[in-house]
Chain A
Amino acid sequence: MVVDPPSSGPAPPGRRAAPSAGVTGSATRVLGLLALVGLALLVLVVSIGIGSRDIGLAQSWSLLWGGDGGVADAGTEVAIVRELRVPRGLLALAVGAALGLSGAVMQGLSRNPLADPGLLGVNAGASAAVVVAIGAFGIGTVGGYVWFGLAGAAVAMVVVHVLGATGRSSGTPDRLVLAGAAVTAVLIALVNAALVLTPRVFDAFRSWNLGSLSGRRLDVLLAVGPFLAVGALAALAMARALDTLALGDRTGQALGLDVERTRVLAGAVVTVLAGAATAAVGPIAFLGLAVPHVVRGIVGPSHRWLLPYTAVVGATVLLAADVVGRVVAPPGEIQVAVTTAVLGAPVFVALCRRRRLVGV
């Protein structure tokens, strides 16, 4: 779906040179990517050293690798580091990368720089399933929600795709977005009805509904890990196809691309990544839209670079936001959905004001 800007000016004859003048060379880009990966790992290390228990960075490090960190009877500390902090950090990286990637693929699939993975009904499906889990099955742990969330996202994806494919063999991006909006509206209405009618369910749901990494342990990571990994690999493998798709359906077909199959695959990748991520940590808006948008302004629209950069940047941003959330309001923490949006939005707005916006 193309969102026409309200004041469409005339197309300027001739174009200026591409804005990404500084990052054109392949070598520069590889180096940049490696630097970002290094940054991500650095943040990961820092995050292991932060938490409500007073276990400093050096201590955590030695505890992680089997030492005793100079603490007598280090049993709980080891457990904290190994079972809470490390999985949390890894999950943050994985989910951040997944959300970024799904946003980039979604924007490429719909040829719309405003697209967000949530447009396909993923969040609504996961939310509905979690409500069912809480209300009908009395599940109260995050580990339990995960499987329901995954199932809900999958069902929503199928419904949206079937709806969008009415009268054809598969849905066009415009149709998928409309179908997603309709399905989301119905699901959200039902979810809200259930919430208002049963305050008990609402109480449990409202904390899940604000994306957070707290309480996510190894079991959550292991549950969604495979989905995220498969989704990420599939996304990266689609880079070439997405570039061709960006040229338009006709041109893409003329270049030998199976347009319909690519679209279905891309839609599946978006749902798997975003669905698994949401199932694991709850809905986090904005990351899937903002990160690819910003990265595209720096490395250009070619998916060969856009996808890996988006994944790494998304991972780093989410983990950093989580760290900030844990540091800012001790002894409690602020959910990562809040820190991401509150810190990310001003940066995003500032960038929007300065740069020439690069379309898909």
Chain B
Amino acid sequence: MTRLLAQGVTLGYEGRTVAHDLSVTVPDDSFTVIIGPNACGKSTLLAALARVLTPAAGSVLLDGREIAGYRSKEVARRLGLLPQTATAPGGITVGDLVARGRYPHQRLLRQWSDADEVAVAEAMALTGVADLAPRLVDELSGGQRQRVWIAMALAQETPILLLDEPTTYLDISTQVDVLELCARLHAEVGRTLVAVLHDLNQAARYATHLVALRRGGTVAATGTPEEVITEDLVGDVFGLACRVLPDPETGTPMVVPRRPLRPGPGAVAGRGVGDGVPAVGG
């Protein structure tokens, strides 16, 4: 049984519809990545799956039940979310922020148990922020801060983890670190991950299941990276003329944009066509 899926959802904000009648299934034990152009509804879909956004129509099902029917803490014990932007209150230490992730497992009179301690320690070890514990979050670099937020989501110990653009604003080696961590969580610890990523090549490398959305919030394709990332799809969904080659390291599809950037008459001024690639089409 798939634990998490969206059925015919219509999503939007204040009168503006971003997606209409969208159905997406998250296969269990997968590392699902949602890709698509700007404003296609990726983050909105993730928010709906995480129950922080209520669909205008349709339903999101978690473990066979309507997600809206659960109590909030129940959902928080099964789903974790790493949001795109989050503000840490001034003056909070790393240790404290990660510890906040244990809230769904705590009660008024049981504010800190051994299980909490272990979960926080493991989360911080996994993300490599254990020695940053007494530092103030404000003082950290962007990459370190992102890892702390991930640690907080990990401390929640949920079987399903949703990540909204976890690699934005990070330098390339930190991006790779974060994605490798996600891959480890998926493969070794056995969590189901759903991530929104901008970088197609990263998505192809790490995902076991891809969902490509078109602008307007409709599904263009789903399946393995090999099935989804094709030259036709990239051209259709992103409007980008490209070549798709196997990644030399992993063999997964790698997108190489063509020059000029758009299929069309004439070359873009200033860009040469000296590599022998014809200026029009592919």
A residues engaging B (CB < 8 A)? 9-10, 12-14, 16
Contacts and interface: CB of A to CB of B under 8 A. Distances in A.
Chain B contact-residue range equals 10 to 19
Contact of A13 (B14, B39, B53): B39
B47 A16 contact: no
Interface in B18-64: 18, 38-39, 41, 43-44, 47, 53
Chain A interface SS verdict (over half): loop
Nearest to B42: A13
A16 B39 CA distance: 13
B14 A12 contact: yes
Interface of B: 13-14, 16, 18, 38-39, 41, 43-44, 47, 53
Contacts of A14: 38-39
6 residue pairs, one from A and one from B, having the closest CB atoms: A13-B39, A12-B13, A14-B39, A12-B16, A13-B38, A10-B47
B47 A13 contact: no
A14 B41 CA distance: 11
A14 B43 CA distance: 13
A9 B53 CA distance: 10
Nearest to A14: B39
A12 B17 CA distance: 10
A14 B40 CA distance: 10
A15 B91 CA distance: 34
A159 B18 CA distance: 51
A10 B44 CA distance: 9
A16 B43 contact: no
Contacts of A16: 16
6 contacts: A10-B13, A10-B43, A13-B18, A13-B39, A13-B41, A14-B39
Contacts of A13: 18, 38-39, 41, 43-44
Given A10-B47, A12-B14, 11 more contacts: A10-B13, A10-B43, A10-B44, A12-B13, A12-B16, A13-B18, A13-B38, A13-B39, A13-B41, A13-B43, A14-B38
Contacts of A12: 13-14, 16
Contacts of B47: 10
Nearest to A9: B13
Contacts of B13: 9-10, 12
